[in-house]
Every structure is written in structure tokens, then in C-alpha cells.
Structure 1
């Protein structure tokens, strides 16, 4: 439960149709197994205490009494389990029969939730036996059941954890999800962050994919966790086959899935993240007065994480999906630049080409924009500006890249201009301080701006999102442009985008692909300090830390507003084999210090296209005072060493 994580499971017991005693034993055995694995919330299938396929046996008093007695047995057998479980059974009330979920915890029946949408088409004939529970609730719907004097029977019930209020549970049953207006819409509006679906969905060809999309889509629409527990082996009878298709989804992401088996499907849900997302989205309705909420208690503790935490949250791990994402990002950025060039009537686009990753991606995007404008690549002016730290490798790669793209190349050595400037301000050439570095960066920007003026053009910025987060940019140097195409692309993604183009061009233009591959192999560096024996002497990641860590921090700090403690925990989960705790802490402190101290650079950024869920534009997603203190965040890190 610490850090907002709760371990949840969908379970499929092996049942016998109409054998309530056997089914009760199967259910509480599965509950005990779940508890042993640390599960705190468990969903079991629809009508699992009787079997879904009982047919006209549902009208038999013996079966209904057997189901109620079975629930009482389960309550007694599991009263020491620190867990909330929802399981299905039929319930009689006022001459009607309802298909219900019994929500239980520590031997107490918290409530009965009836199914709202009763299917009566195809292979389903539920209306023959069951009534809709849509209108149940309020006075008169507290009934004696399973040994308890008064149990609420209502489709509007939600169940709230007193120790973890962000964990509020709602329940719907099978067809309820497939309906045009699922009960989960109302339950989420009442504060439910986790929806349990008790299902008995038979299997037909292609149905699993649709079921998967429904569950994941509903979790995205409602910004919730969604646990779908399906009937399986033992339920199949007559004309229907059930495969136990269990699903766990969170805000559109499928966390766990299992088919063709009985047993448990387990993962962890981050209810704090769900609660944050709902606060962030002003279109999500505020929770009502929660008159239908029922409280339950769970012993606080640390949830062991088994869910996959990607070390590259900005980059899909699936190769096909990654390629599709890369293509989409390049097109989005190129369309933004196309609009700017078109709107301003710019005759050229000017790019400072260093032979590094960022400027390489910028010119690749610019080339796509020119193609969209049906203009020649020669309208791109690529300017390479060697100075004290420039190596032959980066200079030659810049020249080769411009040539392969068909851009107009200009080579302007800025060394003498920078020396004259240093002479004017009294800066020693032997003093390799920040003035020595930034003087070169600002001279390069001046050259680019003036060339743009000469040629009726716009300067295309090359700085990426990671550099903006860390403030790793020279104010009014590479910090400034007329349109920053990389502004919302983090460094790790920059690398994948260039790699994608290199692979895409391998057959069409082998020499272009080769130069891109060599650029990818070049250490990340601003090349502002003199080279040593012709090699790069200044490696960015030695100074500010690994970009893979900083991009990970950036995603969870900005996109999800996670506190330092939780960011550290997730980083250890994702990078535990590459970095020890002390190293992660060191660079996390660096990130917070730089992120807060460098906001003033982000407060006056040039325009740039938003391509993903994280951007630091002061006009878009990120509004932060330039002089905010990092004290609270750094103090929390101090307690974690």
C-alpha cells in the first residue's frame, strides 16, 4: 500500500455447476492463495458459488439456499484474511432474483451489488431468471443475508479503504461493461478508482481481443484500475465454453492477462497515480457526497512490485510500436515546422549542424518539413561552426549529413571571432570556465540569426526536452531559436528517432545511414572545451548524469507528480541491475536541484511542437515560478539515504 500501490488479482476457481459446497471451498482456497501472495483486492467470477450455467436450476429453492450457505461458509473461513473479495451468487429479494456480487472483507459482508444489464440474446437467457438491479438501493434495500442482519443491496455501492482513501472500489458484472451505459461510469463519478468486473463470458473466436479492448478502454475512459475475472474450467457445459480470460488494466494500459487456465492473475495498481490524474483532468467529475460508500479496513504495508517498470517510459519497448511512434513523432514535429515556415513566408530554414544527435534530428525533421512544402532541400541552410572543441569526426559527419540530405552547407569557423570577443571582455584563453564555454555558444547563435536574416529564413532550434529540464543550455545561446523542433523530445527518444531514420534509409541511401550510425556512436558533448589529441574531452553525461536516468525522473516527476520517495523506488525497480541506490540518489538530487534552479530558462522558451505527454513549454503544460524552492523535495531525499 506504500506509495499508492495495491496488489490486486482476478481469480478463476475450478468449479462444479450447481455444487455450492464444492464451489465455496474452491473460492476460499483461491482467496487464501491470493492472500499468501500479498493480494489485497480479489475479484472472482460471476455466479461462481453456483455456476453461471445453472439454467432453470436458478429457480430451485435448494440452489438459492445452497448459495447463501456457501457464502456464509466463505465468510467464516476467510475472516482472518486481510483482503477484500468480490464473488458472485444469486440473491432473492421481494419476489425477484438478482445476479449479485458479494463484497466481503475479514468475515464481513460489506454489500451486495446486483447486475444492471441483463443480456437476453444469442446464447444468453438471463432475463428468464434474473431481474435488473438498476433501481435497487436506498431505504428498504438492507436485507438479512448469509447470517448478517442487514446487508445493503444496491447497484450504486462503492467501498472505500479507510487507511488508503484513494482506494475506492466499485463493482459491475459482465454484460454491464458491454452495455452503452456501464454502471462503472456512475461508480467512477462517485469516487471509485478500482472497478471489479465479475464475469462469465463464454469464448468464441475473436471475442478475447474485443474483451481486452473493452476492459483497457474503460480503464482509460474512467481513469481507473479495472480487474476482470472470468469464469473458466468447470463452468463449460452444453453449448458454451469458458476459458477464464482474466484481465488487469490501469488507465488504458494492460498490466496482466491470462487465458485457458484456472488460478490467479496478479498485478499492482497505482491508485495514487489514478487519483492524481483525476485531479489534473478538470473534466473528470468531482466525487459526490458518497452516501453509498461503505468503509473497509486493510492493514497498511509495503506492496511488493511485480509489474513491469520500463526504464524507457518515453520509448515503447515493442519494436513495431516503437517504429510507428518514431514515424509519428517526426511527422508531428515536421508539420509544426511546416506551418511556421508557411505562415512567416520564410525562404529558408537555418540549422546549426554540429555533428551531434540533437542537430541531426533537427535537420532530419526540417528535411521532412521541406518535402511537405514541396520545396527543395537546398532551402535548408546547414551551418557548421567549428571552434576550440570541435573534432574532425563531428565536423566531417556534419558536412556529410548536409550533403546527403541536399542541404546548402556553410562552414564558418568562429574561432577568431570568439578570440576577439574574449579580448574585448578580458577573458583569458587559458581560463576554461563557463564564460569560455558560453561565449562560443552565443557566437554560434549570433551567426545563425544573422545568416537567417541574410537569407529571409528562420533559425530552427536543436535543444531537446532533457536539456531543458536540466537547464543544460546556454541562455541566449543554443537556448534561443525561432522554432524549436526538439523541444518536447527527450534525449533518449532523440537517439531512437535518429536510429529509426538510419534503419529506414539503410537501403535507399547507405551513406546517409552510415553517417547517422556514426553520429549515434559519438559521445554526447557540447564540444566547448579543447579536444585532447583530436578526441572529445567533454562528455555531458559525466557532468550532469546519465540521460536514461534523467529522462526516467523527468517522466515521473513532471507527468505524474510522484514524490521523490516513489521516484526513487521506481528507478530502483527499473534500473536495479545497472545502478545502485547511491548512484540513483546522487543523480536524482542533481535532477531536482537543476530542475528548480533552471526554470527561468524555460520561462522564455521559443515555440516548439508538443509531440508527447510531457512538455515544459511555459505556454502549454508546465507553469512553474522561476524562483520556486526545491527544499521540500531535497529534504525528502535526505531521509532516503
Structure 2
């Protein structure tokens, strides 16, 4: 007979600095795990504070309140007889660490600081924390008075150690440590640690989940062992959406997987494992040869067993069987991830809904469909009896808490909380106006159709009165400067009107509160700078700001069938256009013509620039091989130079970019993710000379 034990990990929707709310969700996860018979519970990274506190991690209050919340966890009656892995920041010798605190029965067994910090892309952990060093080093930590009074302890170990129970050994990893080449789980596994916990704050990015799961499977396949992965879930207060998907793996196989996108505040997954399976898996002689040469970890001994005699005596009680891990398609990720992010943002901002300028183009269409997807998710959660979702829906829609309102239809909910407006001018087409109206009818949102020519002409007339000059469009003989200014004034006035309507539409409908304005500029337009600064892309938040045009088209095609909205086919067939210039029989403005490059090309440029870290010359050197069979070297050179010219002259627009849901690794978002200058020498003189020289040499 083996040694059976029930283990639990979880995904929690924590919120930066929401100490009481975070505590409530932590205690609920402990309660659920205990109810299911678990003897070990693992929580997300920095779960007490929330992961996204940023510079608040430099404040002493954050550490004080963390200890206060830990004190309440230690005294939680239902935590008795459970080994708990809790995440919080800890200051030791005036040095700040990102830590796991391992507790059992009102005693702190170990404080384990993070050893490898995430410090690129969206993360700046080294700004707030210090990595623990060296490996396997342990010191004494002197507990604060509020904890001493609870535990009766004055000193506890802090450092890179493991916890040894009567029947097994538990080691700790934190998020980034799984992704490093020499992960701690390797040396811990060789030293006999059989259960590894990993507490993460890992954000959603399109097509990323498989990397996380592959690493966990590989870690336990090669080293053997049980791996408990916990993750944050939801919007922590910033651009990132933490996608949950808690996991339990044994010996290279996933045996339990939580949901990746959920409106639940607390999700706990449990599995029954037989620790003897780990010992059998590790029976190879080559592992033994490496194990005897591995430095030993200090073991913090605790006289408890994670396995249960009660369970082991049940003859029909068996370990949880392996499952086939589940992945969403890219289209589903776009449908669910930004939708969950929008719901979190809406309910936590205490506003009454969203306002979107609906242009009749595919970008604002995709934004609207994501909001509709949010309404669908809310209806499903409410039908499943999620009381938190129901209470939030009542507050947002203006219903009283004691009312019996439950959202049962996404169109009805959209009509209450989602407002759209078509802001037409003389340059707008009948087709875009009709598409916007049909889409609004299909999803049920509150829609306004208006013309704003009087507003635009008033501003232009004011300019003419002041300067005695009247600007004209290019088609009417105007210069490029006049043409661009007349386009921009329309776009910027839409932003002003958007905020006016967002503030007053609830009042018009005899409701209280105000609306959040949604932007709808995609990642490729942002990269190229093909948007007007402070136009209607300047909004409160933007759910598609880091999603490519090609992915948005796939999403709309998916939603057409999945959501049953046939009108979306008209958006797919329409040529992308800003509709800011006069339309004639010979001329109609088109985005890709205006930009001088296609959206597909922009995606390629973006990935090479950000993900492959290419400057102009190295980008040309790569593309000459990829595009060389279709384009001459000088044509490739011209495209690369055109991209970098427009990228650099428009880079300043990224400094004021609407906060966007982070979904793509080549996002040009200036805020924390893509830290680059916004004032360039747009001639790129030396770089472009190198490109020209190489392209001419190849052609000759």
C-alpha cells in the first residue's frame, strides 16, 4: 500500500493593496482545501499584498500590513493541521525580499525568499526586491512583536531550505525560478525533495500557456516529483491579466488543471497523489550518481504527516489519474482574457459601464464583441450561482443589493452597461454607419447615431477667424499639412465628445454614475503610430491595444459563428479605413495605403523589433532571406527603412497610449513594457547607409 495524500493549490483574484479583500480570499481557499481533505495548500505569489503593488513595495506600511494579515491567517481555525505556503514581502536586515512563508498550526516553519527575480518585459522585481543569495544559505529571522505574540516564536529560519515531514519533503520555487536554466527544483529533487510548490504571478499572453505547462511537465518528468503550481487570477490593478490555470503534475503528467479564464475570485484544485510513485520514478541509477554529489539542503523538520491513515485504509481510494491538459485557441483567448480583465476593471473602478465610439470598422467592432463576451461570461457565472458576480452586477447596473435581479441574458445586460456611439461626419460612409447600427442591435447595447459636422466646422471656422487662413483637404488642393490637420481635428473632437457622453449618458437614462471610455487601436497601428495623438484612441482602457489586426480578424470570424452574429461577416469583408478624408468616385481612404505597409508586414516588423531584438540592419539581414524570393533586396530595404522612419517619428505617441490589456509579446506600450526613447534621429543615417550598401551589393 502506498502513501496517499491530498494536496491543494489555487488561483486567487487578488488586488494590489486590498489587504482585507485579499485576506478574505486566502482564508476561503484554505477553507475549501481543508474541506476537501487537503493537508498542504499553496497560494499565489505575493498573495497577501497582491502582485502589482510596484513602488508600494518600497513602503514600510506594505510590510507592516502583510504581517498583520499573516497573523490573522495563523489564527484561522480551519487552517489547523494544514501545511500552508503563503506569499508576502518580507524585510530582513533592512533588505526587502519576495518571500514564501511556510506555516503549520500557528507556527512559522520557514521564510523562503525568491532567488531569481523577474526583471524584464512587464516585470521590474529588482526595483523592489533583492534576490536571496547564496543558494542553500539559511539565517535567523527575528519576528515582529505582533507575530511573536501569536506563535510564541522569537526567531525562525529564513533562506533556501526545505521542509521535512515524517513522510516526505517539500521544497519551494517562485514563478521565475521555473523559467531559469538551472531551476531550484533540479537540486532539490536530487537532494530528495519530493513535492515542489511554485507560487506565481504569471500574466496571460496569447499562445503562452503551453510554455508554462511544458516546463512543469519537463521538470517532473526528468527529476521526478510532485509539482503544485499556483497563480494569480484576474486584473491586479494594471495592464496585466493573470490567467490562473493552477496545475498539479506528477512525474511528467498533469493530473489536475484549473480554469485559465474565470470570473471566480477563488478557485481551488486538489488531487490525491501516492508519494511512492515519485520514489519509483526516481529509481534510475544515473540519477543516483548525480544525487550523491549534490549539496544538501538544510531540512526544517516538522513532526507531521501529509499522508493520511484514514485515506490509506480505504481500499477503493486511489491516486488522481493523469489528464490531457487543455488549451484554448487564440480566438478563444481573445474572447475570454480581455473580457475577464474588463469585468474586473469595471467592478473595481465603481463605474456604471463602458462607452465605445463605434466606427463601423473591425477594431471598434472587436472591442464591442469583447465587451459582449464579458456579458456572456457574467451571465454564465450568475447562472452557476456565483454570488460575487451577482452582487457586482447588481451594483454596476444600479440595482439595490437586496433586489432579486440576476443577469440572465447578455443582450439585456449589455443594454444596461454598454453604450456605443457612431460619430459620423461628411467623410463617413453609409456602409460604416449601417454596420455600426446593425452590430449594436445584434449585441443589445445602448446605441447613439449622430453627425458631428457642426462641431468640426465650428472649430475650423474659429481657426479661420483667428488666422485668416482656411485649410483644405488634399483632394481640394490643400497641402499635406492642411490635409493632416483636418483629419486630426475630427479624430480629436471624437475623444472630447466621447468623454462628454460617457459622463452624462447615465444621467440621460435616469441612472447614477459614469462610464469608462474604451479605446480601440490595435497593436500594429500603435507600432506604426497610425493614430492621432489624443484622438478617440485616447481612452480609459483599451482591450485590444496589444492584439494584432490578423488575430482580431480571426477572433471576429470565430465570434461570428460562436456568438451567432452574422453581421460580423460584413466587418471582415470591409476594407480598413479611417474615413477622415472626403470620399469621391476616384478616391476612398484606406489604412494600408496610408501607412505604406500592410498589417501583416507590421506584425512581422513588430516581432523582429521587440522579440528578436532587431535594429534596422539586423532586421533587413533577416528579411532579405525571408522575402528574397518575392522582393528585390532594394525593395526589402525600402520597406524596412520606411517602417523605422515612421516608427521613430511616432514613438512619442506611445508615451500617452491608453493603458491596454497586454496580450502580445511585441507590444510597443511605452509604460513599463517597451522602454525605448521617444525622440529619435529619424534619419537613422548610419543604419540606413549599411542597409543600402548591403542591398546594392546583393543586387549587383
> What range describes the TM-score normalised by the shorter chain of this pair?
0.3 to 0.5
TM-score, normalised via structure 1 length: 0.48
TM-score, normalised via structure 2 length: 0.44
